[in-house]
């Protein structure tokens, strides 16, 4: 815990990396984070697409896109809760899936989160349970068309934290399993993204899919992701208030650095967090009982939550703003999805 605090303090000088819309825009085009995981992630082979075409997704494509993201979330939370990931029965390929290879998890530091109180353990249990329920729900809904879990690299938190300016490359890698506060920062990486992903996917569902209840399912899962995001943002804010300052609680600024990175990777909508047009709302430390918090991530004019396209979400989970990339970051072999290759 103390380690991260020191690292954050040291990283303050690197904040130029993430503040200032101009600097951000300049950095975006070249930004690609290289994973350091072992196994299949050691030599990812991007698949270039000379003329990116917008795929016309079927409902199964949309659900499978969501399933890839849920595999990632479920693995993170299950490792955090129990020290083990999804069971084999929860990651297999449907009989009719065009993707047949069942991936593996590069675990990195993945383990039960250290030093949690019983109350903290119970919230990790809840999120793990609910994300696994989403995996199982989507697999059941897709039936034979369910894609298997792709390769997942849980060691990517390290390079991601370096890219965000939370740590430096020479420092020990950021480990979201090291403490409850580190876990919150790790969870923060996913939750707002999950909300925006389901928001962006809801409109892709066909009329037949709407009639079949898929929109209801998607919006219901969207709400659950927002409950989780509300939890994570409330916990980070509350713990910062209790600590008294962001210097005493560097996890809040760390989360904001994650936001700045996500904003840069949201290709097509890369405005800095909490600026006009951005799809990110920075956490704040309320000064006293007359100032508002910033728990909700929503546009400042209408308080409507954000949406991201599948492509924007892929840029984030690959840790790459580059167009034509087919893998990287948390998905060292790419997602098992028609959206797997990034576009502009």
Partner 1 sequence: MANQETQFLDDVIVKSRRKMLSLGLSSLAGAAGGALTGALAPAAQAATFTDADILNFALNLEYLEANFYYLAAFGTTIDVANAMSTAAGALTIKLTGTVGTPGTVTGGSMVPFSTTEVASYAIETAIEEGKHVNLLLGALKTAAVAQPAINLGTSFQTLATAAGVPNGSTFSPYTSDQTFLVGAYVFEDVGVTAYHGAASLLTTPSNLTVAAGILAVEAYHAGLIRTTINDLDPTGATIAAYTNNISTLRATLSQAGLLGAAPSPFDTNPDDFGLADFQVTLGASATTSTRITDADGTNAIAFARNTTQVLNIVTGGGAVGGGKVVSPAVGVFFPAGLNAGPNGFR
Q: Rule CB under 8 A: choose which of 142, 195, 265, 283 binds partner 1.
A: 195
List the beta strands (DSSP E) in the chain.
105-106, 152-153
Piece of 49-57, 101-109, 168-176, 288-296 that binds partner 1 (CB under 8 A): 288-296
Question: Counting contacts by CB under 8 A, is residue 222 touching partner 1?
Answer: yes
Pick the closer one to partner 1 by CB: 172 or 268: 268
Q: Crossing angle of helices 251-265/180-202, nearest 10°?
A: 30
d(CA 164, CA 173): 12
d(CA 184, CA 176): 8
Q: How many residues sit in the footprint of partner 1 (CB under 8 A)?
A: 76
Q: What share of the chain is helix, strand, coil (3-state, %, to 5)?
A: 50, 5, 45
d(CA 66, CA 89): 18
Question: Counting contacts by CB under 8 A, is residue 26 touching partner 1?
Answer: no
Decide: 72 and 330 in contact? Cβ < 8 Å. yes
Question: Counting contacts by CB under 8 A, is residue 203 touching partner 1?
Answer: yes
Q: Rule CB under 8 A: choose which of 42, 100, 114, 122 binds partner 1.
A: 122
Going by C-beta distance under 8 Å and a sequence separation of 6 or more, which residues neighbour residue 344?
52, 267, 268, 323
Q: Rule CB under 8 A: choose which of 89, 119, 208, 344 binds partner 1.
A: 119
Decide: 311 and 339 in contact? Cβ < 8 Å. yes
The 10 Å Cβ neighbour count of residue 143 is 12
d(CA 317, CA 85): 19
Residue whose C-alpha is closest to residue 173's, from 89, 110, 248: 110
SS3 328: strand
d(CA 156, CA 109): 10
Pick the closer one to partner 1 by CB: 74 or 149: 74
Question: Hey, which residues between 265 and 284 contact partner 1 (CB under 8 A)?
Answer: 276-277
Piece of 55-63, 102-110, 126-134, 256-264 that binds partner 1 (CB under 8 A): 126-134
What minimum distance in Å lies between the beta carbon of 158 and partner 1?
Answer: 25
Question: Counting contacts by CB under 8 A, is residue 246 touching partner 1?
Answer: no
Question: Counting contacts by CB under 8 A, is residue 227 touching partner 1?
Answer: yes
Piece of 47-55, 61-69, 230-238, 313-321 that binds partner 1 (CB under 8 A): 230-238
Question: Counting contacts by CB under 8 A, is residue 90 touching partner 1?
Answer: no
Question: Counting contacts by CB under 8 A, is residue 215 touching partner 1?
Answer: yes
Residue whose C-alpha is closest to residue 231's, from 123, 71, 74, 130: 123
Piece of 35-43, 97-105, 202-210, 335-343 that binds partner 1 (CB under 8 A): 202-210
What minimum distance in Å lies between the beta carbon of 338 and partner 1?
Answer: 18
Pairing type for strands 105-106 and 152-153 reads: parallel
Question: Counting contacts by CB under 8 A, is residue 294 touching partner 1?
Answer: yes
Q: Rule CB under 8 A: choose which of 30, 53, 89, 303 binds partner 1.
A: 303
* Residue 45: exposure state from Cβ atoms within 10 A (0-12, 13-18, ≥19): exposed
Question: Counting contacts by CB under 8 A, is residue 208 touching partner 1?
Answer: no
Residue whose C-alpha is closest to residue 295's, from 263, 335, 332, 255: 255
What minimum distance in Å lies between the beta carbon of 308 and partner 1?
Answer: 11
Question: Counting contacts by CB under 8 A, is residue 262 touching partner 1?
Answer: no
Pick the closer one to partner 1 by CB: 91 or 160: 91
Pick the closer one to partner 1 by CB: 133 or 171: 133
Piece of 16-24, 57-65, 166-174, 297-305 that binds partner 1 (CB under 8 A): 297-305
What minimum distance in Å lies between the beta carbon of 299 and partner 1?
Answer: 5
């Amino acid at each position: 815990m103390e380690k991260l605090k020191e690292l954050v303090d040291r990283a303050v000088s690197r904040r130029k990396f993430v503040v200032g819309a101009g600097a951000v825009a300049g950095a975006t085009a070249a930004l690609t984070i290289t994973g350091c995981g072992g196994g299949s992630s050691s030599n990812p082979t991007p698949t270039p697409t000379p003329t990116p075409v917008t795929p016309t997704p079927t409902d199964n494509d949309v659900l499978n896109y969501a399933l890839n993201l849920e595999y990632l979330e479920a693995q993170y939370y299950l490792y955090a809760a129990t020290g083990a990931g999804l069971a084999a029965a929860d990651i297999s390929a449907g009989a009719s899936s065009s993707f047949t290879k069942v991936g593996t998890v590069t675990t990195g530091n993945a383990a039960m989160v250290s030093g949690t109180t019983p109350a903290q353990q119970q919230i990790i249990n809840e999120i793990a349970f609910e994300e696994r329920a989403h995996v199982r729900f989507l697999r059941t809904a897709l039936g034979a068309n369910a894609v298997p879990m792709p390769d997942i690299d849980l060691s990517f938190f390290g390079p991601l934290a370096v890219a965000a300016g939370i740590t430096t490359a020479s420092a020990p890698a950021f480990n979201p399993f090291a403490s409850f506060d580190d876990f919150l920062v790790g969870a923060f990486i996913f939750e707002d993204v999950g909300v925006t992903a389901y928001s962006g996917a809801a409109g892709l569902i066909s009329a037949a899919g709407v009639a079949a209840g898929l929109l209801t399912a998607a919006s219901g899962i969207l709400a659950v992701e927002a409950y989780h995001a509300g939890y994570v943002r409330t916990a980070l804010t509350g713990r910062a208030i209790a600590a008294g300052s962001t210097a005493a609680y560097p996890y809040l600024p760390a989360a904001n650095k994650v936001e700045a990175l996500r904003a840069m990777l949201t290709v097509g909508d890369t405005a800095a967090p909490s600026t006009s047009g951005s799809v990110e709302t920075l956490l704040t430390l309320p000064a006293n009982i007359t100032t508002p918090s910033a728990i909700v991530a929503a546009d400042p004019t209408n308080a409507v939550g954000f949406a991201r396209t599948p492509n924007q979400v892929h840029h984030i989970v690959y840790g790459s703003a580059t167009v034509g990339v087919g893998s990287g970051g948390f998905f060292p072999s790419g997602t098992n999805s028609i959206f797997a290759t990034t576009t502009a």
